[in-house]
Amino acid sequence: MSSKESQTSKTINYKIILIGDSLVGKTCFFRKLTKGTYSTKNISTIGMDQKTFSLNINVPSDPNDESSPEEEKEFLIHFWDTAGQERFRSITTGYFKQSHGLILLYDITNKTSFDNLEKWINAVTDTLGKNNKKYGLILLGNKVDLENKRKIQSEEAEEICKNNNIHWAGEVSVQEMTLDELNEKFEEFVKYIYSIVGKGEDDKKPIIRKLSTPKKSAKKKEKLCC
Protein backbone atom coordinates (compact mmCIF):
# COMPACT_ATOMS: atom_id res chain seq x y z
CA MET A 1 0.00 0.00 0.00
CA SER A 2 1.34 3.42 -0.89
CA SER A 3 0.13 7.00 -0.83
CA LYS A 4 -0.54 8.43 -4.27
CA GLU A 5 -1.76 11.76 -5.55
CA SER A 6 -1.84 11.19 -9.32
CA GLN A 7 -3.54 8.46 -11.33
CA THR A 8 -3.57 7.02 -14.82
CA SER A 9 -6.56 6.46 -17.07
CA LYS A 10 -6.41 2.75 -16.19
CA THR A 11 -6.54 3.37 -12.45
CA ILE A 12 -9.74 2.21 -10.77
CA ASN A 13 -11.03 4.73 -8.24
CA TYR A 14 -12.93 3.42 -5.23
CA LYS A 15 -14.45 5.35 -2.37
CA ILE A 16 -14.67 3.00 0.62
CA ILE A 17 -16.20 4.01 3.95
CA LEU A 18 -15.98 2.54 7.45
CA ILE A 19 -19.32 2.78 9.24
CA GLY A 20 -20.84 1.52 12.48
CA ASP A 21 -21.46 2.56 16.07
CA SER A 22 -18.96 4.46 18.16
CA LEU A 23 -16.23 2.40 19.88
CA VAL A 24 -16.56 -0.69 17.69
CA GLY A 25 -12.97 -0.17 16.46
CA LYS A 26 -13.37 1.81 13.22
CA THR A 27 -10.66 4.35 14.01
CA CYS A 28 -8.30 1.59 15.18
CA PHE A 29 -8.92 -0.19 11.87
CA PHE A 30 -8.41 3.02 9.89
CA ARG A 31 -5.20 4.09 11.63
CA LYS A 32 -3.62 0.64 11.65
CA LEU A 33 -4.28 0.19 7.94
CA THR A 34 -3.26 3.69 6.82
CA LYS A 35 -0.56 4.54 9.39
CA GLY A 36 0.56 1.17 10.72
CA THR A 37 -0.11 2.28 14.30
CA TYR A 38 -2.42 0.95 16.98
CA SER A 39 -3.46 2.16 20.39
CA THR A 40 -6.06 0.89 22.85
CA LYS A 41 -6.91 4.53 23.50
CA ASN A 42 -8.01 6.74 20.66
CA ILE A 43 -9.50 10.18 20.20
CA SER A 44 -13.07 9.74 18.98
CA THR A 45 -13.51 10.70 15.36
CA ILE A 46 -15.26 14.05 14.99
CA GLY A 47 -16.95 14.17 11.60
CA MET A 48 -14.72 12.31 9.12
CA ASP A 49 -11.11 11.31 8.47
CA GLN A 50 -9.78 10.37 5.04
CA LYS A 51 -6.68 8.82 3.46
CA THR A 52 -5.91 8.10 -0.18
CA PHE A 53 -3.58 5.27 -1.14
CA SER A 54 -2.98 2.91 -4.04
CA LEU A 55 -3.10 -0.88 -4.24
CA ASN A 56 -2.01 -3.23 -6.99
CA ILE A 57 -4.16 -6.36 -6.83
CA ASN A 58 -4.57 -9.38 -9.07
CA VAL A 59 -8.24 -9.66 -10.01
CA PRO A 60 -10.21 -11.41 -12.78
CA SER A 61 -9.93 -9.47 -16.04
CA ASP A 62 -13.71 -9.69 -16.28
CA PRO A 63 -15.30 -8.70 -12.94
CA ASN A 64 -18.47 -10.59 -13.93
CA ASP A 65 -16.57 -13.83 -14.53
CA GLU A 66 -14.43 -15.16 -11.67
CA SER A 67 -12.98 -17.82 -13.98
CA SER A 68 -11.51 -15.22 -16.38
CA PRO A 69 -7.70 -14.85 -16.36
CA GLU A 70 -6.37 -12.71 -13.55
CA GLU A 71 -4.44 -9.53 -14.22
CA GLU A 72 -2.90 -6.90 -12.00
CA LYS A 73 -4.94 -3.73 -11.69
CA GLU A 74 -4.17 -0.53 -9.87
CA PHE A 75 -6.77 0.74 -7.43
CA LEU A 76 -6.74 4.22 -5.98
CA ILE A 77 -8.57 3.92 -2.67
CA HIS A 78 -10.22 6.92 -1.05
CA PHE A 79 -10.71 5.49 2.43
CA TRP A 80 -12.93 7.20 4.98
CA ASP A 81 -13.32 6.79 8.74
CA THR A 82 -16.63 8.05 10.12
CA ALA A 83 -18.01 9.12 13.47
CA GLY A 84 -20.39 6.61 15.00
CA GLN A 85 -22.05 8.91 17.52
CA GLU A 86 -25.72 9.67 16.90
CA ARG A 87 -25.10 13.43 16.78
CA PHE A 88 -22.81 12.97 13.77
CA ARG A 89 -25.12 10.54 11.94
CA SER A 90 -26.42 13.12 9.45
CA ILE A 91 -22.84 14.11 8.58
CA THR A 92 -21.80 10.49 8.13
CA THR A 93 -24.71 9.49 5.90
CA GLY A 94 -24.05 12.53 3.73
CA TYR A 95 -20.74 10.95 2.73
CA PHE A 96 -22.37 7.68 1.62
CA LYS A 97 -23.08 9.19 -1.79
CA GLN A 98 -20.82 7.99 -4.61
CA SER A 99 -19.46 5.19 -2.42
CA HIS A 100 -18.35 1.98 -4.07
CA GLY A 101 -17.94 0.04 -0.84
CA LEU A 102 -18.98 0.32 2.80
CA ILE A 103 -17.51 -1.74 5.63
CA LEU A 104 -20.05 -2.04 8.45
CA LEU A 105 -18.29 -2.86 11.70
CA TYR A 106 -19.82 -4.11 14.94
CA ASP A 107 -18.39 -5.26 18.28
CA ILE A 108 -19.09 -8.92 19.17
CA THR A 109 -19.08 -7.94 22.87
CA ASN A 110 -21.53 -5.06 22.44
CA LYS A 111 -25.13 -6.08 21.72
CA THR A 112 -26.21 -2.50 21.08
CA SER A 113 -23.71 -2.18 18.23
CA PHE A 114 -25.23 -5.32 16.72
CA ASP A 115 -28.84 -4.25 17.30
CA ASN A 116 -28.08 -0.97 15.52
CA LEU A 117 -26.93 -2.75 12.35
CA GLU A 118 -30.44 -2.48 10.94
CA LYS A 119 -30.32 1.31 11.32
CA TRP A 120 -27.00 1.46 9.47
CA ILE A 121 -28.24 -0.84 6.71
CA ASN A 122 -31.37 1.28 6.28
CA ALA A 123 -29.26 4.45 6.19
CA VAL A 124 -27.16 2.96 3.37
CA THR A 125 -30.12 1.75 1.31
CA ASP A 126 -32.03 5.00 1.86
CA THR A 127 -29.04 6.93 0.50
CA LEU A 128 -27.69 4.61 -2.19
CA GLY A 129 -30.78 2.58 -3.01
CA LYS A 130 -31.45 -1.12 -2.59
CA ASN A 131 -29.65 -2.11 -5.80
CA ASN A 132 -26.64 -3.94 -4.38
CA LYS A 133 -25.07 -4.10 -7.84
CA LYS A 134 -24.06 -0.44 -7.49
CA TYR A 135 -22.06 -0.80 -4.30
CA GLY A 136 -20.65 -3.46 -2.01
CA LEU A 137 -21.83 -3.59 1.62
CA ILE A 138 -19.61 -5.70 3.88
CA LEU A 139 -20.32 -6.80 7.46
CA LEU A 140 -17.38 -7.41 9.79
CA GLY A 141 -17.34 -8.38 13.46
CA ASN A 142 -14.51 -7.05 15.62
CA LYS A 143 -12.86 -7.86 18.98
CA VAL A 144 -12.67 -11.66 18.84
CA ASP A 145 -9.76 -11.29 21.25
CA LEU A 146 -12.47 -10.70 23.88
CA GLU A 147 -14.13 -14.06 23.31
CA ASN A 148 -14.95 -14.46 27.00
CA LYS A 149 -17.14 -11.33 26.73
CA ARG A 150 -18.90 -12.35 23.52
CA LYS A 151 -22.55 -11.30 23.26
CA ILE A 152 -23.16 -11.98 19.54
CA GLN A 153 -22.72 -15.33 17.83
CA SER A 154 -21.38 -15.37 14.28
CA GLU A 155 -24.49 -17.23 13.10
CA GLU A 156 -26.59 -14.21 14.06
CA ALA A 157 -24.46 -11.95 11.87
CA GLU A 158 -24.61 -14.42 8.99
CA GLU A 159 -28.41 -14.38 9.22
CA ILE A 160 -28.41 -10.57 8.97
CA CYS A 161 -26.30 -10.85 5.81
CA LYS A 162 -28.58 -13.46 4.23
CA ASN A 163 -31.69 -11.40 4.92
CA ASN A 164 -30.19 -8.19 3.54
CA ASN A 165 -27.98 -9.49 0.72
CA ILE A 166 -24.81 -8.30 2.46
CA HIS A 167 -21.34 -9.81 2.19
CA TRP A 168 -20.31 -11.58 5.41
CA ALA A 169 -16.59 -11.01 6.03
CA GLY A 170 -16.36 -12.94 9.29
CA GLU A 171 -14.84 -11.83 12.60
CA VAL A 172 -11.44 -10.36 13.40
CA SER A 173 -9.42 -8.72 16.12
CA VAL A 174 -8.05 -5.48 14.72
CA GLN A 175 -5.92 -5.24 17.85
CA GLU A 176 -4.20 -8.61 17.38
CA MET A 177 -3.99 -8.70 13.57
CA THR A 178 -0.61 -8.00 12.06
CA LEU A 179 -0.43 -5.21 9.50
CA ASP A 180 0.10 -7.83 6.77
CA GLU A 181 -3.04 -9.68 7.88
CA LEU A 182 -5.06 -6.47 7.90
CA ASN A 183 -3.76 -5.53 4.45
CA GLU A 184 -4.72 -8.98 3.18
CA LYS A 185 -8.21 -8.65 4.66
CA PHE A 186 -8.66 -5.22 3.09
CA GLU A 187 -7.56 -6.54 -0.29
CA GLU A 188 -10.30 -9.17 0.03
CA PHE A 189 -12.78 -6.33 0.50
CA VAL A 190 -11.50 -4.54 -2.61
CA LYS A 191 -11.76 -7.76 -4.64
CA TYR A 192 -15.34 -8.23 -3.47
CA ILE A 193 -16.25 -4.63 -4.35
CA TYR A 194 -14.62 -5.14 -7.77
CA SER A 195 -16.80 -8.21 -8.33
CA ILE A 196 -19.88 -6.05 -7.66
CA VAL A 197 -19.17 -2.70 -9.32
CA GLY A 198 -16.24 -3.51 -11.62
CA LYS A 199 -14.40 -0.38 -12.68
CA GLY A 200 -17.16 1.80 -11.28
CA GLU A 201 -19.28 4.28 -13.15
CA ASP A 202 -17.90 7.53 -14.55
CA ASP A 203 -20.38 9.57 -12.54
CA LYS A 204 -19.31 7.84 -9.34
CA LYS A 205 -15.72 9.05 -9.24
CA PRO A 206 -15.10 9.90 -5.59
CA ILE A 207 -15.41 13.53 -4.58
CA ILE A 208 -12.67 14.55 -2.17
CA ARG A 209 -14.08 17.15 0.18
CA LYS A 210 -12.08 19.40 2.42
CA LEU A 211 -12.83 18.56 6.01
CA SER A 212 -14.03 21.40 8.18
CA THR A 213 -12.04 22.19 11.30
CA PRO A 214 -14.04 21.59 14.49
CA LYS A 215 -14.84 24.65 16.56
CA LYS A 216 -12.39 25.41 19.32
CA SER A 217 -15.08 24.85 21.89
CA ALA A 218 -15.50 21.24 20.84
CA LYS A 219 -13.68 18.95 23.24
CA LYS A 220 -12.17 15.64 22.21
CA LYS A 221 -12.49 12.84 24.71
CA GLU A 222 -10.25 9.83 24.87
CA LYS A 223 -12.18 6.58 24.91
CA LEU A 224 -11.27 2.95 24.68
CA CYS A 225 -11.25 2.02 21.03
CA CYS A 226 -10.87 -1.74 20.92
Question: Domain for residue 179, yes or no?
Answer: yes
pLDDT (tens digit, 9 = 90+) per residue, 137-155?
999 999 999 999 999 999 9
**pLDDT exceeds 90 at position 98:** no
CB of 123 closer than 8 Å to CB of 89:
yes
Please give the residue that has the higher pLDDT: either 226 or 195.
195
pLDDT bracket for residue 92 (50, 70, 90): low
Question: Domain for residue 222, yes or no?
Answer: no
In a 13 Å sphere around the CA of 166, the CA atoms on its Cβ side amount to 26
Domain count across the chain: 1
The single-letter code of the amino acid at 92 is: T
Average pLDDT of 158-182?
95
Question: Domain for residue 215, yes or no?
Answer: no
Name the pTM for this structure: 0.82
Q: What is the pLDDT of residue 120?
A: 93
pLDDT (tens digit, 9 = 90+) per residue, 188-201?
999 999 999 998 75
Helices (H), the chain: 26-35, 89-94, 111-115, 117-128, 154-164, 179-197
Q: What is the pLDDT of residue 222?
A: 47
Average pLDDT of 162-172?
95
Question: Domain for residue 221, yes or no?
Answer: no
CATH at 48: 3.40.50.300
**pLDDT exceeds 80 at position 210:** no
Please give the residue that has the higher pLDDT: either 42 or 83.
83
Question: Domain for residue 220, yes or no?
Answer: no
Helix 26-35 to helix 179-197 angle (10° resolution) is 100
Question: Domain for residue 44, yes or no?
Answer: yes
Domain that holds residue 167: 2-199
Question: Domain for residue 106, yes or no?
Answer: yes
pLDDT (tens digit, 9 = 90+) per residue, 5-40?
445 558 999 999 999 998 999 999 999 999 887 766
Averaged confidence pLDDT in the chain? 83
Question: Domain for residue 217, yes or no?
Answer: no
